[in-house]
Amino acid sequence: MADKKKGEVRRNEKIGEVVSTKMAKTIVVEVTRRVPHPLYKRIISRRSKFYAHDEDGQARLGDVVRIIESRPLSRLKRWTLGGVIRRAVVVGAQPKDLDVQV
């Protein structure tokens, strides 16, 4: 607790993949966590979707991002985009982009 400044709040952070960017200034981030099954103790994956505020629209579909907990911004939005960790690969290249004679 020595590194925490007076009045500073430690906010939750999560890392996940962007699954939707169809809304204005909002992204949907899917966070996957691995937990043991309560009865069988086998490791299973659990997924949760979080709505996050993306003011500048810098996150794209498939990016791995960090989201930070914030005050409620709307009925579902309680997170803001902290930063893009890894960009998604761009697949759909057009022939004009590749300088190929068609």
Q: Give the tens place of pLDDT for each residue, 20-38.
A: 999 999 999 999 999 999 9
The β-bridge relationship of strands 64-69 and 26-36 is: unpaired
Going along the chain from its start, the domains and CATH numbers come out as 13-88 (2.40.50.140)
Are the C-beta atoms of 15 and 66 separated by less than 8 Å? yes
- 27 and 21 in contact (C-beta within 8 Å)? yes
What is the tally of helices (H) and strands (E) in the chain? Answer: 1, 5
pLDDT band at 101 (very low <50, low <70, confident <90, very high): low
Token pair 């691995």 is at which residue? Answer: 34
Rounded to two decimals, what is the model's pTM?
0.79
**39-77 per-position pLDDT tens digit:** 999 999 999 999 999 999 999 999 999 999 999 999 999
Q: Which two tokens stand for residue 24?
A: 């204005």
Structure tokens, 70 = 């914030």
